[in-house]
Amino acid sequence: MDIKKIYMDADALLEGHFKLSSGNHSQFYLQSAKVLEDPKTATLLANALALQIRASGLEIDTVCAPALGGLIAGFALAQALDCRYIFAERIEGKMAIRRGFEISKDEKVLMCEDIITTGGSAMEAASVIESLGGKIVGVAALANRGFCKRENSGIATKPNCKLPQDIPFFALADFTFEMYSPEDCPLCKEGSQAIKPGSRGN
């Protein structure tokens, strides 16, 4: 399956001058929501991810996604893995488990995102799950931005990766495009202005 082609066909790999949530600038931006707007594609991608996870032999009770980004991918993956699905959400800036979701002791939880950049949000939600007695057994995402080493990929872990090294990280593809600090951004130097994805209808 050519994941990059699927993203491009869905106009989900945007080219321009973007300000990312980290504050860095990039010429490209992945808009996974565009890929997932077709439920059939969401199912297709989740099935491919589930196949990888099943092949690893990892035991999973529950998939947990951090809202909003991971919600659709998480649901589709839980469906493909035939397991429970819950989500974490940010309340006044802090990740929380609400909605009456309960975590039993040593419940095996797989964190799921649409895209893993450094894995910060996933790990923030993971620490809440662990504080409630759950056990994080792995991380999964449709796309990997290339800062963390995933299973079956030669990419090395970069220092800013926040995922723990002792649990597996599954993703369908690496999207390793350059990011620049605003001071060093060649696009800024050319005189264009970085836009925040989502702020102008993208």
Which stretches of the chain bind Zn ion, using CB under 5 A?
25, 185, 187-188, 194
Tokens of 150: 């995933």
Give the three-class secondary structure for 84. Answer: strand
Least distance (Å) from Zn ion to the CB of residue 68?
Answer: 25
Least distance (Å) from Zn ion to the CB of residue 4?
Answer: 23
Q: Which residue is nearest to Zn ion (CB)?
A: 185
Q: Closer CB to Zn ion, residue 71 or residue 194?
A: 194
- Rg, Å, the chain Cα set: 17
Q: Closer CB to Zn ion, residue 92 or residue 190?
A: 190
- Residue that the structure tokens 């990312």 belong to: 20
Q: Closer CB to Zn ion, residue 167 or residue 187?
A: 187
Least distance (Å) from Zn ion to the CB of residue 39?
Answer: 35
Q: Closer CB to Zn ion, residue 20 or residue 48?
A: 20
Q: Terminal CA-to-CA distance of the chain, rounded, Å?
A: 26
- Beta bridge partner(s), residue 91: 94
Buried b or exposed e, range 79-117, using 16+ CB within 10 angstroms: bbbebebbbbbeeeeebebeeeeebeeebebbbbbbbbb
Cα-based distances in Å from 48 to 38, 43, 76, 122, 185: 16, 9, 11, 21, 36
- Residue that the structure tokens 């990888």 belong to: 52
Q: Closer CB to Zn ion, residue 17 or residue 150?
A: 17
Least distance (Å) from Zn ion to the CB of residue 140?
Answer: 31
Least distance (Å) from Zn ion to the CB of residue 141?
Answer: 25
